[in-house]
Amino acid sequence: MRTAERDKMVEDIRAARPAGLARAISLIEDEAEGAGGLLEALHPHTGGAHVVGITGPPGSGKSTLTDRIVKHLRARGSTVGVIAVDPTSPFSGGALLGDRTRMADLATDKGVFIRSMGTRGSLGGLSRAVYGTIKVLEATEKDYVIVETVGVGQSEVDIARVADTVVVVFVPGLGDDVQAIKAGITEIGDLLVVNKADLPGASRIESTLESTLNLAPPRVEPAPKILTTSAERDEGVVDLIDMIVEHLALAKTTGLLACRRRMRAKAEITAILTRDIAKRTEISLSEPGADWYERLQDGRTTPGALAATIWRKLVIEEYEGVEDENSREASPGDRRGEHRRSHEDLL
Ligand SMILES: Nc1nc2c(ncn2[C@@H]2O[C@H](COP(=O)(O)OP(=O)(O)OP(=O)(O)O)[C@@H](O)[C@H]2O)c(=O)[nH]1
Ligand SMILES: [Mg+2]
């Protein structure tokens, strides 16, 4: 991607132009050429949003709750970005019809941007796309970025890595005990919401959560808070928002926020490296005529020696010309992007 093209994209994002935003997010999702450079260019404009993760079992009312939260936040004059992640969907780019329809009345509001995302490839790919999309939305100066993920195993943990505040949604009637304890969910949540409080069984799950928390080993972070909502009836939602705001304020003073942000940055750096190493390994080992397996078989090389060769190639071809932080100049250029292009020319 040329510098002028990238600058235009950054400008579109900064001005929150929906078409520009959608294009930038697609670029990031596809890990297309120029995506790395764009993220580098956006980096100085990030960090200003309160990132809220909302996770919980399928059908627990996360989207309904998010919709309500967005409306209340808009009424308060705040701007909001929403990333709805559906790990079961192979589609992306807003293909989740249910979420779209539900939030249709928000679609014309310029202070809101909603994006649905499927996983496509690996879970690692998903979190990379989510980090990138959060950055894009932060660069539009959204006050809040809400990341909604279905709680199926790893995604709950992943969300904890990206969010400043994690809301875990529970519902009556889904096998209360299993639900509460599963995946140590009470360990990752800052706020535990029992939604569908209009249905029978809500108070039972509330007390199950309380006793689970009482039995849980003490943690460094403040103990999660429990509250009930009925997203459908818009009950308890304002209290939830107040608690989300309160959580951030407390996290700022206690250093928890810095800790979460540090974790997010660390995961992002790891994701960049993991992707590049995997890519370089794939390229090296599938080169036409590559005889590494034969050499391995007859003892001329070892897996460790092959790994070292791949590592050197990575450093020379992928990162050559990318300044490390010691020699980096003040202006963040598109060296990564430029480099990627020359790297691709080599292939
Ligand atoms: N009775 C009741 N139903 C609710 C409430 N909140 C949501 N629902 C209903 O529960 C169903 C699922 O709601 P969603 O908001 O789509 O749930 P979700 O967690 O986003 O679902 P997935 O994204 O598919 O995991 C819908 O039919 C909602 O109308 C609530 O507070 N009470
Ligand atoms: Mg949903």
Q: What is the CATH number of the domain that holds 167?
A: 3.40.50.300
Whether 149 and 51 map to the same domain: the answer is yes
Quick one: DSSP state of residue 235?
B
- Confirm whether 17 is domain-assigned: no
Q: What is the mean pLDDT of residues 135-164?
A: 84
Query: In 3-state terms, what secondary structure has residue 190?
Result: coil
Whole-number Å distance between alpha carbons of 168 and 199: 18
The share of the chain scoring above pLDDT 90, in percent, equals 48
Residue 121 shares a structural domain with residue 173: yes
- As given in the structure block, the two tokens for residue 3 are 């510098």
**167 assigned to some structural domain:** yes
Same domain, 214 and 270: no
When pLDDT is averaged across residues 308-320 and rounded to a whole number, the result is 85
Nearest residue by C-alpha to atom 14 in ligand 1: 61
Residues 75 and 217 in one domain: yes
Q: Is residue 281 domain-resident?
A: yes
Report the amino acid identity of residue 191: L
Regarding whether 205 and 166 lie in a shared domain, the answer is yes
**Which atom of ligand 1 sits closest to the CA of residue 86?**
23
Question: Looking at the predicted structure, is the pLDDT value of residue 345 above 70?
Answer: no
Average pLDDT over residues 313-331: 70
Nearest to 195 by CA among 100, 59, 102: 59
> Distance between CA 74 and CA 69 in Å, rounded?
8
Considering 254, 285, 317, which residue would you say is the last residue of a domain? 254
Q: Are residues 246 and 327 in the same domain?
A: no
Domain extent for 120: 46-254
Helical axes 256-285 vs 123-139, angle rounded to 10° = 130
Atom of ligand 1 nearest to the CA of 99: 16
pLDDT in tens, 26-52: 999 888 888 988 999 999 999 999 999
CB 44 within 8 A of CB 332: yes
Closest residue CA from atom 25 of ligand 1: 58
Tell me the average pLDDT of the chain.
82
Q: How many domains does the chain have?
A: 2
Q: For residue 237, what pLDDT is reported?
A: 98
Provide mean pLDDT across the span 154-179: 77
What is the pLDDT, as a whole number, of residue 276? 86
Decide which of 254, 287, 321 is a domain's last residue.
254
Q: Is the CB of 38 under 6 A from ligand 1?
A: no
Look at ligand 1, atom 21, and give the residue with the nearest C-alpha: 59
CB 156 within 8 Å of CB 124: no
Q: Which atom of ligand 1 lies at the shortest distance from residue 230's CA? A: 31
Q: How confident is the model at residue 209 (pLDDT cuts 50, 70, 90)?
A: confident
| Main-chain dihedrals φ then ψ at residue 332, nearest 5 degrees | -75, 110
Decide whether any atom of ligand 1 lies within 6 Å of the 232 Cβ: yes
Range with the poorest average pLDDT among 79-83, 191-195, 254-258, 342-346: 342-346
From 254, 272, 289, give the residue that closes a domain.
254
The CA distance from 308 to 267, in Å, is 24
Q: Is 199 in the pocket of ligand 1 (CB under 6 A)?
A: yes
Q: Check whether residue 218 and residue 307 sit in a common domain.
A: no
Q: Whose CA is nearest to atom 32 of ligand 1?
A: 196
Is ligand 1 within 6 A of the CB of residue 230? yes
pTM: 0.84
Residue 68 Cβ inside 6 Å of ligand 1? The answer reads no
Task: Decide: 58 in ligand 1 pocket, CB within 6 A.
Answer: yes
Residue 123 confidence (pLDDT) above 60: no
pLDDT at 199: 94
Q: Is the CB of 235 under 6 A from ligand 1?
A: no
Does the pLDDT value for residue 110 go beyond 70? yes
Residues 50 and 67 in one domain: yes
pLDDT at 194: 94
Give domain status of residue 201, yes or no.
yes
> Which one is predicted more confidently, 98 or 66?
66
Within-domain flag for 14: no
In this structure, are 132 and 187 located in the same domain? yes
Residue of 60, 64, 89, 146 to mutate, ligand 1, most atoms within 8 A of C-beta: 64
DSSP 195: -
Angle of CA points 248, 254, 257, to nearest 5°: 45
Would you place residue 87 in the very low, low, confident or very high pLDDT band (cuts 50, 70, 90)?
low
Return the pLDDT at 38: 94
* DSSP assignment letter at 188: H
For ligand 1, the distance from its centroid to the CA atom of residue 195, given in whole angstroms, is: 9
Contact in structure between 270 and 261 (CB atoms under 8 Å)? no
- Report which DSSP code applies to 169: E
Which amino acid, one-letter code, is at 313? K
Regarding whether 165 and 272 lie in a shared domain, the answer is no
Nearest-atom number in ligand 1 for the CA of 58 is 25
The CB density around residue 278, as the number of other CB atoms within 10 Å, is 12
Distance 293 CA to ligand 2 centre (A): 47
Whether residues 249 and 264 share a domain: the answer is no
pLDDT at 112: 93
Pocket flag, ligand 1, residue 62 (CB < 6 Å): yes
pLDDT of residue 182: 58
CB 216 within 8 A of CB 186: yes
The answer to whether residue 185 is domain-embedded is yes
Are 73 and 206 contained in the same domain?
Answer: yes
Asked, for residue 26, whether it belongs to a domain, the answer is no
pLDDT confidence bin for 246, thresholds 50/70/90:
very high
How far does the centroid of ligand 1 lie from the alpha carbon of residue 231, in Å? 8
Residue 131 — very low, low, confident or very high, per pLDDT cuts 50/70/90? Answer: confident
Of 129-143, 163-177, 199-213, least confident by mean pLDDT is 163-177
Residue 334 is given by DSSP the state S
Q: Does residue 121 surpass a pLDDT of 70?
A: no
Query: Considering the domain boundaries, does residue 138 fall inside one?
Result: yes
- Average pLDDT for 260-274: 86
